[in-house]
Amino acid sequence: MEIYQLKVFLTVAHHLSFTAAAEVLNLTQPAVSAKIKSLESSLGVELFERLGRKIKLTAAGNYLVEAGPSLIALESRLVQEINEIKQGKFSRLSVGCTPSILNGWLPKILFEYRQKYPEIELHCRSFDTVGSIYQALGSEDIEVGFSEITLQASPDITAVPVGNCQYFLAVATDHRLAKAQWLSLKDLTSENWAFPQVGSSEFLALNTRLQELGLQLSDFDNYQTVQSSGLMNAFLTQGHYLGFVSSLQLQTERQSKLLTAIPLQEFALESQIFMLLPNPSEPQRRTKFKTDRLRPLEEFTHLVSERTKHKAEQKIRASNVGASKHFPSPGWIGRRVSAKSIDALTLSIGTQNRTIQTVTAGVIIRKLSLLEHFLPQEGQYKNTQFKVQWRDFTSGAPIVTGLKSQQLDIGILGDYPLLLSGAHASDAMPDLSQTRLISFVASNPDGSGNTIIVPERSDLTSLEDLRRRIIAVPFSSAAHGMIMPTLRRNNLLEDVKLTSIEDLNIHRLTPRNLSADGYAYFAPLHDIASHRSRFRRLLSDHPDKLPTFHGVVVREAFAEHYPEVVVAYLKALLAAQHWYMTTPSALTLVSNWVKLEPEIVAKTLDYRRQGAEGLFLPNTQVRTDWIKEHIQQLAHIPGNEHLSTIDLNKWIQPEYLEAATATL
C-alpha cells in the first residue's frame, strides 16, 4: 500500500464519486480508478461497492476511512522531521496552553527556557478550550500542555501540578460593589454578569462549582458569555457588569486600578495549574534522533519543576504556615461500593459555631461551601442528591444526645462530651448508637482552654475558697470534664456543689435566678466574660497541664455505610483549616460570621497572620495519649465509671483522616 494510493482513496471516500475526486486531485477518472484497484489488490479486499453509477463504502472501506488519516499525519510528520535533519534542526519543542496561562503565567518560563537553550526551536500555541489541548497532545501536535483544568476522562494524559491561580469576582473600580471585601455567587444571581466562553478553563471551573452547589447558569437573571479578556474588560468597565475571572487574567487592568478583584466565598481555595504530558501507549525506540527530540521536552519539564519548587519554598517562607496544600475534587474510593446507587442522602452535622476553636469544622466549611466541593460523585454516589443539615448548639451535651439517637451523623465535641459519645450504651438503653473518633480539630496542650471564672468583685481568690460554694457549669461539657478532676485532686469534690446551666447563652453568661459563686466555662466563654470586664479567672494556671482538645466523631453505622462521605467531610475540614491560616481576611470574616469580637477569635484560635497566639492550635492528628489521660482522671469519679469501657483501638479510626490527607 502506497501513501498516495491512500490519499486518493480518502478523497474518493469523502465525495463518494470517482469523477469528483479526479477533479480535486487533478487526475483523470481512469487514473483514479486505477489507483483504487491497485490499493484493493494490495489489501486483498474491496473498498467500495459499485451500485450502477453510485458507490458506497464496504466495511473494510469504512475502517480505512477512520484509520487512514493517522497514517497520512504520520507520513507528514516523518517528512518534516527528515527535512529538519537535513537542515541541521535536531531540537524543537511545541507547547500548548490556555489563553490565560499564556498571558499570565507561562511567558516568564518560556523566556527563561529560550535564554537557557537558544539552539532549541520553541513554538507556543494558545487553545481556546481545554479539550483542544488534550486533542493536540493526543495527535502529537504539541509535546506538552498547560491548563487550569484536567479532564478525568483522559487516562492517556498525565497532569502534574506546577502552579496555582485564584478565581474571583472582577468589577470596575467605580462599581457600587467595588468596596466589598467578600461576596457570594448565591447573593448575586440578579446582577448583570459577564461569564467566560463555553469550553474555556474559567467556564469549566465555574460550571463545575455551580453543579456542586446545586446551581446552574439559568439561575442568573442576566448574563453574557465573552470570548476574550479584552471583551471581558469592555463589559466590566463600560457596562458595569460583574465578571468571573482568574488571577491570570486582566492583570494590567487590576494593577492600574481600572478593575477591582473581590474574593468569592464559593472559590475560597486556590486552584491549580497543571502541566499536561502524554503517556506513551507502548515503549518507544530511543534512536539517536528520538533521543534528540526528547531532550528539549525533558529540559523544559525540569525547568518548570525547579521553578515550581522555588516558588513553593518562597511561599512557605512568606506565609510561615507550612507547605501549601491544594484540594482537588475527590477521587478516593476506600472500599468497594455497592452497585446500587443512592438517590438521596441527608447528612446531619452538629456544630458549636461560637466555640471558636471548632469554627474550622463547622461555620467555615458551611460558609465557603467546602463540603459540597468534596462530596463523592462516583460509584454509588453518581446520581446522589446530597442534603447537608448544619445544626448549631451552644455546648456538647445535645450533640452527644443527637448522635446517640441517630438524629445527627457527625458531631464536633470537646474532650469530655467526646468521651461520653464513645462510651458503650447501658443495658437499660442498648439501642443507642455508637460513634467513632476520626479526627481532632483543635488542641490546647497546657489545659488552659477550660477554667473557672468569678465576678470581678468576688472575694474568691483560690480553689480552696470554693469549699461550701456553688459553681455553675454546663453539664457534660468540656468545662464539666475539667472541673470534676480539678476538684477531686484538691479534695473539694464533696464540698463544692455543681449546678447545671441548662440555657447556656453566650450573650448572658450568668443565667437568671441562679445563685452561683462562680462558673466553669470552656473557651471562649471565659474570655468573653473577661473581655467585657465583668469576670476574672480564678485559675490563672493549670498545674496538672492536662491538654484539652476538640474532635470529630461520626456514627458508627453511618461511617460503615458511607465511608467516602466521611472522608469528604475531613477533606473539607483540612481545607477550612488551611484557609483560616493562610487568608488575611479570615479573622474578620469569621468574627462577622460568629458575631464575636476579632480579639476573641484571635485569642481563642491561633491566627498567625497577625502574630496572635491563640489558646488552641488547629490540629487534626488524634492524640491517643491525651485521651487515655482524660479517661484515667475521669473514670474514678462517681458517675463516669462507664468511660473505662471505651475500646480505644476500636473507637479511634485514623484511616479516614489518612485517606483524606493522601491526595493533598
Q: Which of 443-447, 573-577, 592-596 has the lowest average pLDDT?
A: 443-447
The pLDDT, as a whole number, for residue 155 is 75
Q: Are strands 344-351 and 410-414 parallel, antiparallel or unpaired?
A: parallel
Residue-wise pLDDT for 18-30, tens only, equals 999 999 999 999 9
Greater pLDDT, 511 or 62: 62
**pLDDT tens-place string over residues 424-481:** 755 444 556 799 999 999 999 888 888 898 888 889 999 999 999 999 999 999 999 9
CA distance 124 to 122: 7
Instruction: Specify the higher pLDDT residue, 532 or 150.
Output: 150
What distances in angstroms separate CA 184 from CA 73, 287, 326, 365, 547, one per listed residue? 49, 56, 21, 14, 38
Q: What pLDDT, in 10s, does the model give residues 533-551?
A: 678 888 766 666 789 999 9
For residue 207, which amino acid is it?
N
Which element (helix H / strand E) includes 307? helix 288-319
- Indicate whether 564 pLDDT > 90: yes
Share of residues in the chain with pLDDT > 90 (%): 61
- Contact by Cβ (8 Å): 343, 384: yes
pLDDT of amino acid 313? 58
Residue type, 548: T
DSSP state string for 242-263 = EEEEETTSSHHHHHTTSEEEE-
Q: Which three cell numbers stand for residue 208?
A: 463545575
For the chain, the C-alpha Rg in angstroms (whole number) is 33
CA-nearest of 420, 443, 393 to 617 is: 443
Q: How far apart (Å, rounded) are the C-alpha atoms in residues 589 and 577?
A: 14
pLDDT for 482 beyond 80: yes
pLDDT bin (cut points 50, 70, 90) of residue 335 is very low
The rounded percent of the chain whose pLDDT value lies above 70 is: 86
Q: Pairing between strand 144-147 and 271-278?
A: antiparallel
Average pLDDT value over all residues in the chain: 86
- pLDDT 10s digits, 206-253: 999 999 998 999 999 999 999 999 999 999 999 999 999 999 999 999
Residue 501's contacts (CB-CB under 8 Å, 6 or more residues apart) are: 472, 473, 474, 475, 511, 514, 519
Whole-angstrom distance, CA of residue 469 vs CA of residue 515: 10
> Does residue 3 contact residue 75 with C-beta atoms inside 8 Å?
yes
Q: What is the predicted pLDDT for the residue at 309?
A: 78
The pLDDT value recorded for residue 284 is 46
Q: What is the tens place of the pLDDT at every residue in 282-332?
A: 444 344 444 455 678 989 999 999 888 766 656 555 555 444 455 443 332
Contacts of 603 (CB under 8 A, 6+ apart): 524, 527, 612, 614, 615
CB 433 within 8 A of CB 556: yes
Mean pLDDT of all residues in 541-570: 90
Rounded to an integer, the average pLDDT of 585-605 is: 91
Angle between helices 288-319 and 107-116 (to 10 degrees): 130
Q: Is the pLDDT of residue 334 over 50?
A: no
Element (H, E) at 537: strand 535-537
Handedness of CA 303, 309, 312, 317 (dihedral sign): negative
Grid look-up 521536552 returns: 297
**Rounded mean pLDDT of 488-500?**
92
d(CA 412, CA 437): 10
Q: Is the pTM of this model over 0.85?
A: no
158-167, 274-283, 299-308: which has the minimum mean pLDDT?
274-283
CA distances from 146 to 34, 324, 325, 326, 430 (A): 47, 20, 20, 17, 58
pLDDT digits (tens, 9 = 90+) for 259-269: 999 999 999 99
Contact 474, 509 (CB under 8 A): no
Taking residues 627-648, report their average pLDDT.
Answer: 93
Rounded to whole angstroms, the Cα distance separating 294 from 589 reads 50
Distance of CA 52 to the CA centre of its chain: 64
- β pairing state of 167-172 and 410-414: unpaired
Task: Return the bridge partners of 522, or none.
Answer: 450
Taking the C-alpha atoms of residue 333 and residue 451, their distance in angstroms, rounded to an integer, is 43
Identify which of 258, 273, 221, 264 has the alpha carbon closest to the alpha carbon of residue 244.
264
Tell me the average pLDDT across 378-383: 88
Averaged pLDDT, 354-365 = 95
Q: Which one is predicted more confidently, 301 or 156?
A: 301
- Given a cut of 80, whether residue 336 has pLDDT beyond it is no
Strand spans (E) along 291-449: 344-351, 385-392, 410-414, 435-444
Distant-in-sequence contacts of 510-515, Cβ < 8 A, 24+ apart: 511/472, 514/472, 515/470
Question: What whole-number distance in Å separates Cα of residue 487 and Cα of residue 513?
Answer: 25
